[in-house]
Each structure stands twice: as structure tokens, then as C-alpha cells.
Chain A
Amino acid sequence: MVDEELRIGVFVCDCGLNIAGSVDTEEVRRFAEGLPDVVVAVRNRYTCADPGQEEIKKNIEEYKLNRVVVASCTPLLHEKTFRDCISEAGLNPYLLEMANIREQCSWVHLHDREAATQKAKDAVKMAIARARYMSPEEEIKIPVTDKAMVIGGGIAGIQAALDLADAGHQVYLVEKQPSIGGIMAQLDKTFPTMDCSI
């Protein structure tokens, strides 16, 4: 675990009725509030909308949050949104964790509010547990050598080399045989145009 004191903020989303329709989001929020290291738990109607994001940023500042847990839709949809959001508030984007309480909870347990709420609580608890061990990560910047190699000088390699070179890049075209051309050089006329190959 990281040395600093943990200050986790939890944001539970109603998603209109998409989540709140089959999960008791207020109970989930209250549950989250009572868990260790959680300093604030907020319920939003639409967390991904601007007001929801503003709320996250405001709380990061106000409560000096160093981890953010969003319980809402799938991270495959909005992980980037919330990562961007917390980094605008000065937090490293990798200090975000999401609990999927929509696609993998409210929508698949439409008729069992109690079990769905229990599942959402567990999902939030698991997210907080993971968040405790998260640390800031950096995406690395890799410099690029502005040269390309094309291996094989048949029609495909020739075309690729010409396109790259015309686009301004230096190209090495590596051909095993004494001449480029490949199979096409051996053809007489070619379909569908029936014209010469070379």
C-alpha cells in the first residue's frame, strides 16, 4: 500500500432509472460511506454528465481525495471519461476505479432489487478494496525513428514503399531475389483489366 493516508471518494450513479430502477442506489451510497478510508460518498443522477463530473472534481478538491471510485456503467464505456475528469482535477488518471453496477448488475437483475442491491454493494466494496492498492502510473513517451522498412519487393511491397516514400519517409526495400517484381513480373496479362503486368 502507498504510504500516504487513503482518502477515497465514492460516486454512485443512478443513471436515471437505468440503475436506480433495480438497485437501491441510496443504500449503496450509505454502505460505501461506512467503509474504511472512504471520506465521502455521493449519489448522482447522471455521473458522466457535466454536473456529475463537476461534482467529482469539487469533491476531490474539498476532501483532498486521493482515490476515486465511480459505481456506474461499464468501464469499457466511461473509464476514459472519468480518468480525464479526475486528471483535470489534478489526480493521476490511474487512481480511478469503476464498479460496474449497470451492464453487469441492474440490467441483468431487473426483477430482484434486493439481490441486485447486494451485488452492487459488493461491487463497490471490491472496487474500494482494489483502489486502496492503486498507485499513479505514467504512460511512456516513445520517440520514433522516421524511417520504414518494407520486406519483400512484389507488387505489394513496391506499392507500400512508393506510398511511404511519396509521403516523405525514408524507406529501405529489402528483396531476397536479384530483382523486385515478385510473381506479378512473371504474369502475361492480368485480370480483370487484361492488360500487361509490368
Chain B
Amino acid sequence: MTDVGRHPRIELMTLSEVEEVSGYIGNFKVKVRKKARYVNAKECTACDKCAEVCPVVLPDEFQQGFSSRKAAYIPFPQAVPAAYLIDMEHCLGNNPIACSKCLDACDKQCIDLNMEDEIVELEVGTIIVATGMEIYDPTPLDEYGYTRFENVVTNIEFERLICGSGPTDGNLVRPSDHQTPKRIGFIQCVGSRTDNRGNPYCSNVCCMATVKDSLLIKEHHPDAEVYVFYMDIRAFGKGFEDLFRRSKEEGVHYIRGMPGEITEDPTTKNLRLKVENTTAGRVEEYELDMVVLALGLEPKQDLRHLSSLLNLSHTSDGFVMEAHPKLRPVDAPTPGIFFAGCVEAPKDIKDSVTQAGAAASRSSIILNAGTITGEALKAVIDLDKCTYCGVCAKVCPYGAITVDVKGKTEARVVAAACAGCGTCAAECRFDAITMQHFSDEQIMAQIDAALEEEPEKKIISFLCNWCSYAGGDLAGVSRLQYPANNRFIRTMCSGRVDEKFILHAFEKGAPIVLLSGCHIGDCHYIDANQWTKRRAEKLWSRMEKLGIRPERLQLEWISSAEGARFARIMRNLEEMRQKVTPEEIEHTKKALARYRMSKKSAKEPDEPAEETAAETAQP
């Protein structure tokens, strides 16, 4: 920690928060608010004189409230920077009548109660997000009585109680009577691996934290009885099983079964619990002096806010989503941003440090390069056609487009941030966006060419480059056979497939059209395929209104590993095609021609009669 404070190339900004981020890889502009410390950290020698005279006594957060601190304080003795600060929310004020005692006590005159927040703007090439996690709050699990019973504590509180520099100088005592507990129980998975009142995932560190805690107790108090109530112990890392074994050898009792409810003896403040020991096959009762809840870990509460500033997305558990869970585990989908530590998922120190090294190295690659090459495939705005409606900015997964809807300024694409998915071009109802290299003309020409002869025998399939097209390749590599009447059109992302391409294919006589992309959650362009899905849903209802069977437009998510599924889908499509009659195709052609004409004669040229998916849906 101290190395950070001393390093000539690290500028440490504590009490600081990111307020605004703009720009893109290589060129981020970040606005940071440095909150006032009210103490000149450079001058402060941590002499403690201010705290000595400060009359305000508050619970010490670092010690989990087991001891107190003043309003003039240092968070903990080894803090970096090694400087005091004033808790202004509780300070009595710098009015000499009110207080201002610390001002007089500080020999170096480094306290300034009028200090103000400072806003700094910084330019950086890369950003590493390492904002960590939150520890689960067990209050809702009332059956464990955390808020009702003094001797039910959390494992992070326990860490302080057993720590040599903790409030009890490392003498393990229980809160109610400050006596050394002789019977201590740990309850595992509190707030983890549950479908209600907690999180469904395993929090990764709490089993080993408990194994560690049990050994620490045995080290200080060999005669103490330690009971661990668990579902299963996850000791999967290097050296973990050894530690677990040692704990059992030291006589720690591991009891497979989760206690239902804890009750308290009001006089002794001892705790009672009943548990079904599923190994022994019997219900057991325990009286304990102290119970420790092994709490799970959750995403930081303000992570969503930071994510919106950095344009990050989240997996279903609420932690940040990587560019690829296996192959790019520390990259954010937004280029130039990386993850380290528990912000990505609960993990231990070793994994946090490993990830930090990886993120630093990934970041160094960019910083060392000096210049980087950006994507050649980009969205280009036709300023004459843009009506400042703002839809493109709304659908862009990268926040690469800005439109001032109120100020009526045309859309602007930040070329370096555009990843080339083409979703904006598909959603713009004024045709004001050209997706380079995958333009409307190009794709329409492909459809026309495919359906020039015998369209009734063919199927048009739009395949996204990264998943579905690769899935199709895998079917080939595996020599899986399927009917030969499918014509494939590759786009970078399924989000590029404009509804007009699909309607055009039907108008040209295609019996069946397939729209296919990466599975939801696996989109190569963050979440652009959400728009594909919405667009298909819109189209189905529009087709229904026009008297076209919606089933003729199929939507399938096919991953690059699903070659067999690709082939099966191709066979299914052919079965469907055979059921489309010539009369049906003729009817569709006429209905769509009429629909197109009605759009043409509408007031605005090119204005579709109905809204696009993006205009009605919320992401």
C-alpha cells in the first residue's frame, strides 16, 4: 500500500469520484471530484493531536463499530495517505464559539475547515475499473437475528475481533459480555446460493474465509469448540484442501446442514439453533456462545452509476460483463476499459491480483503502441436526411453517436468509438445512416441476386459474422448435411438487418427468411442483438396485419459452437418452406408492394407508417 503513495508515477486521489467520462480508447476525458479533506494531506504528520482534542465521538467504521473514532480522524493506522481528515458531516464547525479546537491543536496549521471540493479534468488512454464489491447485509434474514442478538456477528466483524490491531487487540470476545466464547458456530452461504432474499451465485471466498477463521480461533484458543454449518465446502483453489484438512484435524466440526432459526437465551445471551445434520441423518440442537455469519459478496451499490458513465453492461448477477467470459476476461466490451478484482465477480486476493496484472498488461499494450488502428467499418451520417430524432444515439451500444434532440443538431458519430455493428443504420427510419462496407445497396443487391431465379425455392438467411455464420462454418467442418436451397447473407451483427431487407426478400418472393445472431448475452456488440429481437417482434405483428404468416420470418440464436444446431435449423426451414404455397407468395408480394406504395405516398418521403422498434422500446 505504501508503495502506491511513494511511487513517482502514481498520482493518488483519495476521497475522489469519477463524475463524467467522455471520449474513447486512447483518448478518454475524465472529470473527477476530489472531495475536501479539510486537512492538508501533504503537511499532516499524523500526530493525532487534532483527534485528541476533538469532542465528537463516533462509531469507527473500520473497526465495524466495535470502537470509536473522532470527527478528526485517520481511517486506520496504516492508512495511505497517512493523513487525518475531518468528517465534516459531524464536525461542530469552525466557528470558535462552536468548536475549532483542532485548529488550535495542529502545530503545522494544516487544517482548513473552509476547504472546498476540487474538480479536475484528466486525459487518459485507458481505464481500469477495480471498484470491488459490497458485503451482503444480513438484516433481511431475520431468522438469524443479526439485528436482534448481540452475539450474532458477521465474518467481517469477526475479522476485526480477532485482529491484533482490532478493537480488542486480538483477544476474541463476544459482544454481549466481553467474555471469550467457548462454542462458536459459523453459518455458511448467508446471502449466497439462494433464490430468495440473497443472491443465486456462490460468493467464492466465504468457505475459505471460514476455514481460515476456524484455524485462527484454534490457534488462540485450542479448547474452543468450533462448528461450521454448510451445504458443501468449496475448497477448490491451490492449497485450499490442505487448509480445510488442517481445520478438520484441529477438531473443527463440519456439520452438513443449514440451521433454520436462531433463538437467544435472554439471560445468558447464548444462542440456540436446530439443524438437520444430513450426513448423520438426524436433527441436532446446539447451544453456542457466538454465531458468525459467512456473508456473501454482491456488486457495489453505486456500480450501476459508474457503469452508465463508462458504458459498461452487467451479467445477470449484477457484476460487470466482460468482452468474452473465457477469452477476454479482463476486457470490457468498450475498447480501452479493463476490469480487475471483485468488480467482475467475487474472488479471493490471489485472483484479484492476477487479474490486476492482466488488466495492467492489456492496458500497457495500448499505451505502449502510441497509436492504434480503429475499425474501418463505420456508420456515416447523411446530414441532409437526419431529423435529430435521436434513435441512433439510443440504440448505439457504445455511446458512439451524439444527437442534440432539443438543440436540433444532427447526429455525430465518434469514429474511434464506433465498432461497426450497424444497428443504428437499421434503426434509422429516415435512411440517414450508411454503414460502410455493409450498406443498404450492397445488401439489397445480394437479396436481388439470390432471388433473381426461382425465388420460391429459396430461403434467405441473414447470419451474424461472429456467431451464426461461424456456426454455419462449423456445420461444414463437421460435414453435417442439409438442403442446398438456403442463400446466406453475412452481416457483422444481426442488429444490422434492417426490416426493409426482410420485407424486400418477401416481396421478391422468398418463402422463408431467417434472422440469426449470437445468443442474447453473447452479442459481440455488447447487447445490439436486443434490438434484433425487438425488431423481429415488431415485424411479426406488422406481417400479421398485412396478412402474411409471421412464422415465415424465423429468429434463431446460433453460437459458433452450434454447428449441429445450425444444420438442424436449416432442415427445419426447408420443411417450413415446403408448406408455403405459391398463392401465399403471390399474396405477400402484392401486400408488400401496396404497403411500400402507401409509405411512399405518405407526407414525408421514406417515412414508414409505423415506428421502429427503437422508438417504442426501452433498452
Contact = CB atoms under 8 A, between A and B. Distances in A.
B558 interface: no
A176 B349 contact: no
B75 A187 contact: no
A179 B449 contact: no
Contacts of A179: 14, 74-76, 79-81
A191 B211 CA distance: 8
A6 interface: no
B484 A119 contact: yes
B12 A163 contact: no
Nearest to A154: B132
A155 B473 contact: no
B423 interface: no
The residue among A126, A139, A146, A156 with the most chain B CB atoms within 10 A of its own CB is A156
Nearest to B160: A186
Interface string A47-84: 00000000000000000000000000011110000000
Contacts, number: 362
B183 to A, nearest CB: 21
Nearest to B418: A140
Interface string A129-170: 110111101111111111111111111111111111101111
A92 to B, nearest CB: 10
Contact of A174 (B13, B216, B350): B13
Interface in B76-133: 76, 78-81, 85, 122-133
The residue among B7, B237, B371, B473 with the most chain A CB atoms within 10 A of its own CB is B473
B164 interface: yes
A164 B10 CA distance: 9
A149 B28 contact: yes
Interface stretch (B335-343, B521-529, B547-555, B611-619): B335-343
Given A115-B485, A143-B370, A175-B12, A151 B129 contact: yes
Contact of B129 (A152, A175, A191): A152
Contacts of A17: none
Contact of A177 (B14, B156, B367): B14
User: How many B residues are at the interface, by size bracket?
Assistant: 35 or more
Nearest to A193: B239
Contacts of A160: 128, 130, 340, 356-357, 359-360, 363
Interface string B424-449: 00000000000011010111011011
Nearest to B347: A156
Interface string A92-131: 0010000010111101111110011011001101101110
B569 interface: no
A5 interface: no
B476 A103 contact: yes
B445 A133 contact: yes
Nearest to A182: B132
B443 to A, nearest CB: 8
A126 B486 CA distance: 13
Given A115-B484, A148-B128, A174-B18, A188 B30 contact: no
Given A141-B373, A191-B212, A148 B484 contact: no
Interface of A: 1, 74-77, 94, 100, 102-105, 107-112, 115-116, 118-119, 122-123, 125-126, 128-130, 132-135, 137-165, 167-194, 197-198
Given A148-B128, A156-B355, A183-B132, 8 more contacts: A104-B472, A104-B475, A137-B377, A142-B25, A147-B367, A178-B85, A179-B81, A192-B208
Interface of B: 1, 3-4, 7-18, 24-28, 30, 32, 37, 62, 64, 74-76, 78-81, 85, 122-133, 135, 156, 159-160, 162-164, 166, 170, 208-209, 211-212, 215-216, 237-240, 242-243, 306, 340-343, 348-350, 352-353, 355-357, 359-361, 363-364, 366-367, 369-377, 415-416, 436-437, 439, 441-443, 445-446, 448-450, 452, 458, 465, 469-470, 472-473, 475-477, 479-490, 567
21 contacts: A77-B473, A102-B476, A107-B476, A109-B481, A109-B484, A112-B484, A119-B487, A141-B372, A142-B26, A142-B372, A142-B416, A149-B30, A164-B364, A169-B363, A174-B17, A174-B32, A178-B79, A183-B132, A186-B64, A188-B160, A188-B162
